[in-house]
Amino acid sequence: KAGVTQTPRYLIKTRGQQVTLSCSPISGHRSVSWYQQTPGQGLQFLFEYFSETQRNKGNFPGRFSGRQFSNSRSEMNVSTLELGDSALYLCASSSQGNQGETQYFGPGTRLLVL
């Protein structure tokens, strides 16, 4: 089975712009979670989608949003980018996202905001 794929792998944007990141889960997985990784704050949970619905949400401002399509692919959008949004964005997929199932992580998208 192919693993979790994320596109693009690297991205450079300027302050005030918006960005969309994409995540394709492992085939058959219906749960997709997003995480932000920064040197200062570490790994932080953004949100999780299951069957096209946001099921869990972290403590991020409304500029961070996401969606999931019927084929379980997910996108994450950040509007009005700030310098502090520079980070590695990781997505993870699992079959149902419950009962301690293993989450499989993609390689991440590294976003640099100038």
Q: What are the residues binding another protein (CB under 8 A)?
A: 4, 31, 33, 35, 42-45, 48, 50, 55-56, 58, 90, 92, 94, 97-108
Of 35 and 85, nearer to another protein (C-beta) is: 35
**Strand ranges (DSSP E) for 1-114?**
5-7, 10-13, 19-24, 31-38, 42-50, 53-57, 64-68, 74-78, 87-94, 104-105, 109-113
100 three-class SS: coil
Closest CB to another protein among residues 13, 105: 105
Cα 91 from Cα 108, distance rounded (Å): 7
The DSSP symbol for 72 reads S
Which residues is 114 bridged to in the sheet? none
**Minimum CB–partner distance for residue 79 and another protein (Å):** 23
Residue 80 CB, shortest distance to another protein, in Å, is 25
Closest contact distance (angstroms) between CB of 81 and another protein is: 23
- To another protein, the closest distance from the beta carbon of 60 in angstroms equals 13
Q: Which is nearer to another protein, 52 or 101 (CB)?
A: 101
